[in-house]
């Protein structure tokens, strides 16, 4: 039997690290491909040597302080929010392009190891990503020359991995995924052949990077007294702080040398000091989990059989201690924190391959069907009544089963109206009507009306939220049969022409090893 057959590979495109994985037909589980830099993790960092070449990975990450204007980090947090991440010599690169550079690097490494030509992939995304961020992730794959067969929420991918090594059938679980840049929570019911998502929560601005930053600030306050470091010493300092944080997972204290000009300062960091200075972040975790549980309690769900902890930052003792306090009677399961998401993506990819090829299942483990729900609510801006207040009228609600399709009637506001602007919003509100907030605007599209219509003529808006959490919108004027399928004007997503242009730009640059 070949070691891998599905030809669809998993990719954990992380805020801090990226991994490629495949389904091992012999071991019956996902396995990660090696990075040329050693180990399986490739830092999600891009350094531009000049306008013609770039470097991805550890070497790129280590240039961030020395060459901040030419190094891109943590751009995953910008996905779906902006088209502009870094300017190199007058060329502006989007988060999608930067992610594509990383994808090309890790896929190239995997191609050499496996002697494959990887094209078809499943890419993981934070469960609490917006629809725009999920679509931007797809665009990154396209720019990298990949066929993105599906995207899957990171906690669900991790769940697929855990289920492949110990059958979770009959269990209700919460996946707690604290990675480098995001915190994701998913509650799920595991059946014999299916996984039912119950609820999704999280914080897309909370991850291990934030613990690093807060520890850095504490050490600066204690040892530097406002003094600045030379760029190379600053780079060493940031790397040492990250290593100290990791060391404190298993030790009570950690030491390193802080260099400042000719001076060398011996820095001691204890676990209690680390936990004290990062307490505001732990409080954010607690509040996020509590809000998640409050929502579940309203629906009659008060506990779990297991809490599954994944993501590198979940290793911090303060995290497991918090979860033990919040779930005293629940088993905490921690397994393959750094690789669970990638390995699970490969398991999910195996299911896609089975479904597509319909070949007979020869293994003892069969990946379960995933029944997804929406992480957010979706609606459009509308006037309430003839002269009412303008609000968001939600059409698809948070926790709705996916895929979801909804049609709703709206009405023109004046005689002979020639154009209707459909402003689409994405919120966490569960009520029918929500307050307008420009930060929640997903995009705009226009419906042009032919003929002369009286005021209060019917306009039908159709929403279609796919299984992967990306949204399409269509507006129709039934009488005149005028319609527009919205490729929405968005501040962060790319048009077809922009996709081609950005792909060409990426392909023209030379990746340095």
**Domain extent listing, the chain:** 8-206+296-371, 208-277, 377-490
pLDDT beyond 90 at 333: yes
Highest CATH level, class, for 8-206+296-371: alpha beta
Token pair, residue 164, equals 């492949």
The pLDDT score that the predictor gives to residue 210 is 96
Spatial CB neighbours of 364, under 8 Å, sequence gap ≥ 6: 28
Q: Tell me how far apart the alpha carbons of residues 236 and 413 are, in angstroms, rounded to a whole number.
A: 62
**Cis upstream peptide for 403 (omega within 30°):** yes
> What's residue 5's pLDDT?
72
pLDDT (0 to 100) of residue 365: 61
**DSSP per-residue codes, 224-248:** TTT----HHHHHHHHHHHHHHHHHT
Average pLDDT score over the chain: 90
* Cβ neighbourhood burial of 160 (10 Å; 0-12, 13-18, 19+): buried
For residue 353, name the pLDDT band (cuts at 50, 70, 90).
confident
208-277, which class in CATH? alpha beta
pTM of the model: 0.89
Lowest-confidence region among 146-150, 212-216, 231-235, 462-466: 231-235
Cα 139 from Cα 133, distance rounded (Å): 10
Q: Which residues pair with 110 in a beta bridge?
A: none
451 or 211, higher pLDDT: 211
Q: What is the mean pLDDT of residues 75-98?
A: 94
Helix (H, G, I), strand (E, B) or coil at 231: helix
Contact indicator for 409, 460 with CB cutoff of 8 Å? yes
pLDDT band for 488, please (50, 70, 90 cuts). low
Q: What is the pLDDT of residue 1?
A: 47
Average the pLDDT over each of 370-379, 412-421, 477-486 and give the range with the smallest value.
477-486
Q: Residue 226: pLDDT above 80?
A: no
pLDDT of residue 512: 80
Q: What is the mean pLDDT of residues 67-72?
A: 94
CATH number for 377-490 (one of 1.10.357.10, 2.60.34.10, 2.40.110.10, 3.40.50.2000): it is 2.60.34.10
More confident residue, 3 or 341: 341
Taking residues 349-366, report their average pLDDT. Answer: 65
Is a pLDDT exceeding 60 seen at residue 486? no
Mean pLDDT of 338-345: 95
pLDDT grade for 443, boundaries at 50, 70 and 90: confident
């Amino acid at each position: 039997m070949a070691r891998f057959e599905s030809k669809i590979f998993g990719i954990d495109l992380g805020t801090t690290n990226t991994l490629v994985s495949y389904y091992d037909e012999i071991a019956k589980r996902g396995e990660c491909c090696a990075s040329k830099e050693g180990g399986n993790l490739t830092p999600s960092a891009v350094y531009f040597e000049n306008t013609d070449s770039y470097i991805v990975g550890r070497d790129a990450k280590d240039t961030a302080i020395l060459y901040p204007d030419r190094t891109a980090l943590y751009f995953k947090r910008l996905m779906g929010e902006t088209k502009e991440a870094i300017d190199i010599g007058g060329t502006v690169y989007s988060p999608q392009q930067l992610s594509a550079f990383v994808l090309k690097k890790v896929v190239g490494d995997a191609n050499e190891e496996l002697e494959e030509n990887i094209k078809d992939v499943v890419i993981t995304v934070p469960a609490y990503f917006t629809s725009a961020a999920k679509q931007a992730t797809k665009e990154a794959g396209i720019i990298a020359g990949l066929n993105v067969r599906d995207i899957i929420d990171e906690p669900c991918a991790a769940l697929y991995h855990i289920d492949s090594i110990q059958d979770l059938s009959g269990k209700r679980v919460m996946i707690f995924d604290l990675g480098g840049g995001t915190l994701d929570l998913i509650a799920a019911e595991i059946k014999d052949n299916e996984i039912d998502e119950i609820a999704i929560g999280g914080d897309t601005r909370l991850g291990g990077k934030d613990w690093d930053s807060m520890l850095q600030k504490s050490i600066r306050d204690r040892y530097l007294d406002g003094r600045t470091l030379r760029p190379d010493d600053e780079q060493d300092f940031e790397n040492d702080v990250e290593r100290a944080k990791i060391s404190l997972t298993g030790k009570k204290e950690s030491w390193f040398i802080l260099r400042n000009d000719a001076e060398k300062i011996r820095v001691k960091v204890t676990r209690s000091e680390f936990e004290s200075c990062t307490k505001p972040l732990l409080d954010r975790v607690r509040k996020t989990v509590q809000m998640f549980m409050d929502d579940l309690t309203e629906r009659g769900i008060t506990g779990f059989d297991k809490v599954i902890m994944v993501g590198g930052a979940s290793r911090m003792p303060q995290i497991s201690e918090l979860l033990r306090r919040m779930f005293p009677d629940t088993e905490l399961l921690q397994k393959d924190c750094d690789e669970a998401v990638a390995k699970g993506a490969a398991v999910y990819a195996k299911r896609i391959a089975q479904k597509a090829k319909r070949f007979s299942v020869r293994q003892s483990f069969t990946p379960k069907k995933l029944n997804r729900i929406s992480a957010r609510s979706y609606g459009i801006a509308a006037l309430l009544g003839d002269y009412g207040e303008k609000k968001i009228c939600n059409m698809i609600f948070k926790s709705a089963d996916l895929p979801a399709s909804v049609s709703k009637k709206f009405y023109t506001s004046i005689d002979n109206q020639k154009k209707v602007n459909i402003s689409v919003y994405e919120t966490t509100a569960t009520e029918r009507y929500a307050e307008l907030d420009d930060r929640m605007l997903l995009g705009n599209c226009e419906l042009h009306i032919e003929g002369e219509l009286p005021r209060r003529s019917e306009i039908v808006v159709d929403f279609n939220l796919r299984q992967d959490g990306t949204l399409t919108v269509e507006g129709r004027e039934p009488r005149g049969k005028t319609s527009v399928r919205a490729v929405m004007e968005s501040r962060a997503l790319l048009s077809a022409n922009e996709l081609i242009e950005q792909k060409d730009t990426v392909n023209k640059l030379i990746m340095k090893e």
